[in-house]
Amino acid sequence: MGALVPLDRPLSTSNLVQPSRASIMRYARDAYDGAPVVAMLESRLSRFHQTSHCITLCSGFWALVLAIRLLARPGRPDLLMPSLTYRRMADVASWSGLHPRFCEVDPDSLACSPATMRAGFTSAVALLLAVHPIVGCCDAPGLVALSEELGCPLLFDSVESVFEHAGGKKVGSFGTECFSLHASKLLNGFEGGYVTTDDDALADRLRQQRDGAAPDGMDVRLEPLHAAMALAGLDELDDQLVRNQACYESYRSGVSTLSGIKVVPFPEGSPTSHKTIVVELTDDWPLSRDTTVMRLNEANILARAYYHPPLHARPMAYAHRAATLPVTDRLGLRFMLLPCGHHVSLDDVRTVIGALRALAG
Ligand SMILES: *Cc1c(COP(=O)(O)O)cnc(C)c1O
Q: What is the pLDDT of residues 294-351, one digit of tens each?
A: 999 999 999 999 999 999 999 888 877 888 999 999 999 999 999 999 999 999 999 9
- Atom in ligand 1 nearest the alpha carbon of residue 193: 7
Give me the mean pLDDT over the 75-90 stretch.
97
Cα 335 to middle of ligand 1, angstroms: 19
- Atom in ligand 1 nearest the alpha carbon of residue 62: 9
How many angstroms separate the CA atoms of 101 and 118, rounded?
12
In the prediction, which pLDDT does 176 show? 98
Buried b (16+ CB within 10 A) or exposed e, 220-254: bbbbbbbbbbbbbbbbebeebbebbeebbebbeeb
- Atom in ligand 1 nearest the alpha carbon of residue 192: 7
Cα 262 to middle of ligand 1, angstroms: 26
Provide the 10 A C-beta neighbour count for residue 185.
23
Cα 122 to middle of ligand 1, angstroms: 26
Strand partners of residue 289:
none
Q: Which residue has the higher pLDDT, 273 or 316?
A: 273
| Res 1 pLDDT > 70 | no
| Res 125 pLDDT > 70 | yes
Q: How far is CA 10 from the centre of its chain?
A: 22
What digits encode the pLDDT tens for the residues 191-235? 999 999 999 999 999 999 999 877 777 899 999 999 999 999 999
How many angstroms separate the CA atoms of 280 and 155, rounded?
28
| Res 102 pLDDT > 70 | yes
